Amino acid sequence: MIKKTREPDLAGVPGGPVLQALGVHKVYDEGPARVRVLEDVSLAVQAGEMLAIVGASGSGKSTLLHVLGLLDQPTSGSVRVAGVEAAALSESQKSVLRNRKLGFVYQFHHLLSEFTALDNVAMPLIVRRMPRSQARERAREALAKVGLAARALHAPGQLSGGERQRVALARALVGEPACVLADEPTGNLDRHTAQGMFDLLVQVNQELGTAFVIVTHDLDLAGRAGRRLTMADGKLG
Ligand code: ADP
Ligand code: MG
């Protein structure tokens, strides 16, 4: 008899944490040095919560976001996205889960320079094989949410730094993720523009109920999140 392997349900488990790390360790073992970056990190991010992570440069914040976002594997321990255990998934299943449940914003916008803001924002939906006209319609709505409806047909090179980060946020939101992982999203902006960007993150969190995990150097901004944790010596506390 052929035993059929059960397909994991990538729709996730409703009601539980949107993201979970359980006893996660990450060791980089390249070259002569073993770098222990994450040591027994456990974390649960609840639906709709806004969590800030602070910590010195090199303390492992980006590594943690990569592991939480299924872009990197922990050396040991487990990561669950919407209750789905990542270790059991193939790379393509991880991509599907990431595309459906998570959004990403980085310090640098990573927009494609040859595409308009609208088409950049539509990209995660095109990847989902949504018809182009419908994807563009949703992208328009997402751009309106970040106050950039009028800039839809501009290329990234025609936008200011703050506007580009807003487009990156719209791209992260267009798929209606449960949680956005933002790695120093204001790190490349001047003080005033950074405040405006953070205001927008708070507004989106409150209006759409999207959970956020935001890595930032800025303690003032971090203080505005619902919860704040610090990375130090590989530990999160
Ligand atoms: P942060 O985002 O807090 O500045 P990172 O997560 O980028 O910190 O890096 C944490 C530590 O892990 C640093 O010591 C860094 O040099 C090391 N590190 C990051 N990525 C790699 C890698 N691919 N190979 C080896 N070491 C790495
Ligand atoms: Mg970093």
Cβ of 55 less than 6 Å from ligand 1: yes
Q: Is 93 a domain residue?
A: yes
Q: Is 53 a domain residue?
A: yes
Q: Is 96 a domain residue?
A: yes
**φ and ψ of 108, to 5 deg:** -105, 140
The answer to whether 106 and 23 have CB atoms below 8 angstroms apart is: no
Q: Is 190 a domain residue?
A: yes
Q: How many CB atoms lie under 10 A from the CB of residue 182?
A: 27
Task: Give the CATH number, domain containing residue 98.
Answer: 3.40.50.300
Cβ of 63 less than 6 Å from ligand 1: yes
Nearest CA to ligand 1 atom 24: 28
Distance of alpha carbon 134 from alpha carbon 165, whole angstroms: 23
- Domain of 125 in residue numbering reads as 47-74+87-236
Q: Is 133 a domain residue?
A: yes
Ligand 1 center to 58 CA (angstroms) = 6
Cβ of 205 less than 6 Å from ligand 1: no
Nearest CA to ligand 1 atom 13: 58
Counting the structural domains of the chain, the total is: 1
In the block, tokens 């997402």 appear at 142
Mutate to test the pocket of ligand 1, among 26, 29, 37 (most ligand atoms within 8 A of CB): 37
Q: Is 1 a domain residue?
A: no
Q: Is 198 a domain residue?
A: yes
Nearest CA to ligand 1 atom 27: 28
Q: Is 22 exposed, middle or buried (0-12, 13-18, 19+ CB in 10 A)?
A: middle
Residues, beta carbon < 5 Å, ion ligand 2: 62
Cβ of 61 less than 6 Å from ligand 1: yes
Per-residue pLDDT of the chain (237 residues; tens, 9 = 90+): 565 566 778 888 888 999 999 999 999 987 788 899 999 999 999 999 999 999 999 999 999 999 999 999 999 999 999 999 999 999 999 999 999 999 999 999 899 999 999 999 999 999 999 999 999 999 999 999 999 999 999 999 999 999 999 999 999 999 999 999 999 999 999 999 999 999 999 999 999 999 999 999 899 999 999 999 999 999 999
Q: Is 33 a domain residue?
A: no
pTM score, whole prediction = 0.95
